Amino acid sequence: MIKQLRKDTVSIIILGIIIRFLIIPFTFNWDLWANTSVATGFTFASAEEFYLNPLAVYPPMIYAILKFWLHLALPFIGSYLSLFTHIGSISAVTSPYIFRTLFVIKLPYMILEIICAFFFSQLFKGQKARGALLFWMLNPFSIFLISGWTNVDVIPVFALLLSLVLYQKNRRLLSSLALGVSVSFKLFPIFIFPFLFISLKNWKERILSLFLFMVPIIFSHISVITASSYLQHAITGGYSRKIFFSLLPIGDNRAILPFLLIYFLMFLFSLSDKGRQKPFIAFSFIALIPLFAFSMFNLQWFFWLLPFLIYYQIQLPETKIPLFFIYLSFSGLVILSQMSLNLGMLIPIEPTLITYGWPLKDIIGADNLFLSLNILHTFLAACLFWTGYLALSLKRKEDHAQT
């Protein structure tokens, strides 16, 4: 029985890898082209000038990692990389070398996502760890977002998962360091740190935790800390403003920010949870919920939530229904979006797909389309809040049982 289980485990892992190998050369997303093109011109020495590029929207460490991989990939794709990044997006996808180029460029994303699966399995014990690994390897959303979309968020999520694993193993200070590394790549994990900070036992630990959390962030931002183009474009502008777009007007030139309102209420709730172990994984999850509920989030950000959704899908049967609607709503948002975010990703196989913009808008009308998107977003937000409530309820029951 044990030998058969091991055999099945290896077979499923191999199947998951094969599926990814079959997807990465044949799918293309404009974000991949933009990130690759921008990364080729990145240097820490010219950060101020670099962030004048409107496509440069991520912290410098993202581009440093991407450029490092592109340098290693040169022996395999050579001049094809220059062709891919400089001759224009339409010409790039019709190049006869597109399949090889995509495979090589996307390979590190796929490898990192598979390592994420192994890290994720370490949050469980015994047979559940094996099941979690297999669940991730065959999860269609992780495959779509990384192997298909080729989402750079796999890099900070990798560090975030490491932080969660270290925290669970009572390596709280190293967990803070790993979370700081995650923030160095993408700013979203910064919303998780306050919950880690208050979960520590004493102020000495908290001060050390804050120091270790800030070290990688400061060192990775030294070259851009005085760059006004970075602060205005990548930090306070563009995508970052989306989380503060939703407003609840209460008078002339005065409004409440729903994102901050709900986030701070959750933070106060975590402070009131005295005498019991702070549920770091649960609070890490709910720290992200207001961001998705009250902003027109980019669809690739869904990968931030995915480890938590899979975690509670395994740990908490009561989440089956809300998780079903979360996955269904997200799938609907993808299907109703521009062609480039769904079937349009197959343009390496069928380049004429590039000519389609947003056909559903023309078919059902803009008003009906946006109403449908709003309904799906509302379902997604409601189910996220309910899943977060169930996650906290589970944790409190476990803490009560332990005492």
Question: What distances in angstroms separate CA 305 from CA 9, 98, 189, 315, one per listed residue?
Answer: 25, 31, 11, 15
User: What tens-digit pLDDT sequence spans the chain (403 residues)?
Assistant: 345 445 577 888 999 999 999 999 999 988 898 899 999 989 888 888 888 888 888 999 999 999 999 999 988 887 788 778 766 567 777 778 889 999 999 999 999 999 999 999 999 988 889 889 999 999 999 999 999 999 899 999 999 999 999 999 999 999 999 999 999 999 889 999 999 999 988 899 999 999 999 999 999 998 888 777 787 766 544 555 666 667 788 888 888 888 899 999 999 988 886 435 568 899 999 999 999 999 888 899 999 999 999 999 999 999 999 999 999 999 999 999 999 899 999 999 988 888 888 989 989 999 999 999 999 999 999 999 999 999 988 654 444 333 3
**Alpha carbon distance 23, 14 (integer Å):** 14
Question: Which pair of structure tokens corresponds to residue 147?
Answer: 């192997």
SS3 content of the chain, % helix, strand, coil (to 5): 75, 0, 20
Question: Which pair of structure tokens corresponds to residue 258?
Answer: 């729903």
**Alpha carbon distance 214, 207 (integer Å):** 11
Q: What is the largest CA-CA distance in the chain?
A: 70
Question: Which pair of structure tokens corresponds to residue 255?
Answer: 């409004």
Q: For the segment 5-16, what is each residue's pLDDT rounded down to a tens digit?
A: 455 778 889 999
- Residues in CB range of 214: below 8 A, 6 or more apart: 180
**Alpha carbon distance 403, 395 (integer Å):** 13
- Residues in CB range of 168: below 8 A, 6 or more apart: 122, 123, 280, 281
Question: What distances in angstroms separate CA 105 from CA 77, 171, 311, one per listed residue?
Answer: 9, 34, 30
Q: For the segment 75-125, what is each residue's pLDDT rounded down to a tens digit?
A: 888 778 877 876 656 777 777 888 999 999 999 999 999 999 999 999 998
pTM exceeds cut of 0.75: yes
Eight-state DSSP code of residue 147: I
**Alpha carbon distance 49, 93 (integer Å):** 28
Contact 247, 256 (CB under 8 A): yes
